[in-house]
Amino acid sequence: MINIRIIICDDHTLFRNGLASLLRDQPGIYVIGEAVDGKDLIKKYEDLNPDVILVDISMPGLSGTDAVKELKLKHPNLKALFLTMLKGDQYIYFTLKVGGLGLVNKSIERGELVFAINEVSRGRKYFGSQYDEEKINGILKKYEHKPINIEPNINDEITDIEDKILLLISDGLTSVEIGEEMNLSKKTIDSHRMKIMRKFELPNSSSLIRFAMKYTESKSK
């Protein structure tokens, strides 16, 4: 078994001490330092050069993620396992984005924590037993490609008058207001709206407004 030298970084002294004493009994894991915030972590990392850092995501002053982001620039091989009391796939994505290898909840049990530390020390990702490689990639994909995009050929199917109407719809204008703006009757505007809705299979006017906003935004690029 290889020896893993770790630094624990958490602003809550009691929790940090508890974690340290929990890991101290573990063969092969050596807590070589404790840091109280992001700044302290950067300093201790430079001094002690640990194999793994166990770091709280949110801390006053320099947060854990910001500290890791900064350290990563100088030490691209840094292995960080984040701790959090928050839940949500966003945090997994957030952790991966700043260059962390894992994220575990603070209510984790010792066995799992030791396992997570071992995984991370080997350069593998760990986000909990239910998150396999495929699921993690799924999260990455989901959040990386989160922005909704408009199909490129959509512009060809929109006439000039529809273009103008869509622009005004995206500004939150009603049919009457659009009519006034364009010197057309409400009836004409409504029939154009219906045409657009039919053309792009939009079931209701709420989806039409969302479509109008996407369209306008894609045009402004």
Sites of contact with other proteins (CB under 8 A): 12, 14-15, 18-19, 21-22, 25, 57-58, 63, 65, 85-88, 90-91, 94, 106-107, 109-110, 146-149, 171-172, 174, 204-207, 209-210, 213-214, 217-218, 220
Residue by residue, DSSP assigns 141-189 as: HHHHT-S----GGGGGG--HHHHHHHHHHHTT--HHHHHHHHT--HHHH
Task: Find the shortest distance in angstroms from Cβ 173 to other proteins.
Answer: 8
If the CB atoms of residues 163 and 171 are measured against other proteins, the closer one turns out to be 171
If the CB atoms of residues 17 and 49 are measured against other proteins, the closer one turns out to be 17
CA distance 67 to 42: 7
CA distance 32 to 53: 10
Task: Find the shortest distance in angstroms from Cβ 214 to other proteins.
Answer: 6
Task: Find the shortest distance in angstroms from Cβ 221 to other proteins.
Answer: 9
CB 8 within 8 A of CB 64: no
Task: Find the shortest distance in angstroms from Cβ 125 to other proteins.
Answer: 19
Give the residue carrying structure tokens 């950067």.
42
If the CB atoms of residues 123 and 147 are measured against other proteins, the closer one turns out to be 147
Task: Find the shortest distance in angstroms from Cβ 47 to other proteins.
Answer: 26
CA distance 165 to 121: 57
Helix (H) / strand (E) containing 52: strand 52-56
Q: Comparing C-alpha atoms, which of 216, 97, 100 is closest to residue 162? A: 216
If the CB atoms of residues 30 and 122 are measured against other proteins, the closer one turns out to be 30
If the CB atoms of residues 49 and 85 are measured against other proteins, the closer one turns out to be 85
